[in-house]
Amino acid sequence: MTDTATRELVAPPARAPEDAKRVIRRGKIWVALSFIFCPCHLPVTLTLLTLLLGGTALGAVLRDNIVLAGIIITATWGIGTWRGMQLIRTANTCAIPKRRTLRQRVAVFMGLAQ
């Protein structure tokens, strides 16, 4: 068993700058597209969906279950925003060195290790 004080904290691997920029861009796209389904736009979104789906079976289901449609649209907004923020947050642009144990720090101080 290892003692919690001597356990090393390992940083996640750093991404290449181009890869990090791509991940950040993808996260921003997720957030921007999820704002289409923002609950503050719910009346507009439901009106557009009703107009687009009018006369179809899906339009009849939407008309009869407007509360369920609102819940699904709000959940879509929440999940899309969460996913976008996760992508932006996980794009590591710099490497954080792992934490050294006391034994390793003493070895570096004494010149026995790097």
pLDDT tens, residue order, the chain (114 aa): 444 444 444 445 555 667 888 888 999 999 999 988 888 888 888 888 888 988 899 888 888 998 998 899 899 999 999 999 998 888 765 666 667 788 888 888 888 876
Q: What is the pLDDT of residue 47?
A: 86
Q: Please give the structure tokens belonging to residue 17.
A: 């700058």
- Enter the tokens of residue 112: 């026995």
Instruction: Give the tokens for residue 98.
Output: 């792992």
pLDDT of residue 6: 43
Q: Which amino acid is at 30?
A: W
Residue 26, pLDDT score: 93
pLDDT reported for residue 4: 47
pLDDT of residue 13: 54
pLDDT of residue 96: 61
Closest CA to 32 of 85, 91, 71: 85
